[in-house]
Amino acid sequence: MTDSYNPLMDINTSFCDYLVARTRSYQEHVVGGTLDYAFDADFAMRQKIGGFSGWSRLYKAIISSDIPNRFKRYFQSSDSAGSMQHAKAYEAAKKCSERLQISLPVVLVRKAGDVPEIMSMAGDGIEPCIVMTSDIADNCSYDELCYLIGCECGRLQNRHSAFNYAFTYPGISRGDVSENPADNVKSNVRELNYSLNKWLILGDITADRAGIICLDDPSKFPQVYASVRRRGIPDSFGAVNTGIDIDGILKRYETFHVTPVRSLKMGSECSHDERRIIAGMEFIGCEILYIWRPDLSAPMTHVGNKQSLEIRCDIIADAGSSHSA
């Protein structure tokens, strides 16, 4: 008697192969433990924070309990974006996941409140998730959604979730970067608070690079960024700036872009928004963008390398500076 063919035997049940498929091909962009497009200073600051006394316990609590519990609350009170509802946000998320070479995250849309919000979450036992209010999902343009969702996909891809969630804990507040931790007697909490606020600036630059990769036309980044702020969507510090002088920033960038590194300066009067826009425009002139987006033609002018980009962005970020508008 001839053995019958069992088609189930053709199914690949290897967990290792599953993980490879889950992370997809972006692993080829990992260099030294971090993604090639990510801001090096972002990774370095998170490594520093990871060495603080008490951080490992806080991190474990956030990842294993706090974020999963928040996800459950949002999941129960939100709509899932899909082809039949909030389709524009869903299509933007699909495009972003393709361009960043990650699996499509869960996209939840909750009822709009007083302030439009978008955030990302990743933790134990939950699918990576992006949550936004309905005013963002339904009113933003496709370009704006690609940028905003792309930023959050970048935060997920670069494991920002626990660091962002830490600001919900007592003693850690957004925007508090005015004092050196050595000047405060509560040194442990103060140093963590100070460093997390410095990291926010660096993490935003990484997230903006992901958002730029996800735009159909990355050269539109400055205008898209400004239009997002005009909608009243707050930045990572919770600040709202609806009056960005994008023309003035672009004019200043014309000079900044051709200034040698040894002569580069960013005055303390420069806002967080201006720094993000200029850092993003520097990324548009870097070869890394065109490695991620081979469908794009690199500009006719000189395309810089990653090392040059990071040196310039270190100066642009100047993480001890003001974040105000």
Of the candidates 134, 131, 132, 130, the residue with the CA atom closest to the CA atom of residue 156:
130
Express each pLDDT in 74-110 by its tens digit. Answer: 999 999 999 999 999 999 999 999 999 999 999 999 9
If 0-12 CB within 10 Å is exposed, 13-18 middle and 19+ buried, where does residue 104 land? middle
Domain ranges in the chain are 29-241
CA distance 38 to 154: 9
In 10 A of CB 198, how many CB atoms?
19
101: helix, strand or coil: coil
In 10 A of CB 132, how many CB atoms?
29
Local confidence band at 5 (pLDDT 50, 70, 90 cut-offs): low
User: For the chain, what is the mean pLDDT?
Assistant: 87
Type of residue found at 247: D
Give me the torsion for CA of 30, 92, 74, 153, rounded to 10°: 10
CA distance 147 to 143: 6
Q: Is the pLDDT of residue 17 over 80?
A: no
What confidence score (pLDDT) does residue 185 get?
40
Interhelix angle for 221-230 vs 272-284, to 10°? 150
Local confidence band at 2 (pLDDT 50, 70, 90 cut-offs): low
Q: Is the pLDDT of residue 224 over 70?
A: yes
CA distance 95 to 293: 12
Express each pLDDT in 127-153 by its tens digit. Answer: 999 999 999 999 999 999 999 999 999
pTM for the predicted model, two decimal places: 0.87
318: helix, strand or coil: coil
CA distance 255 to 276: 17
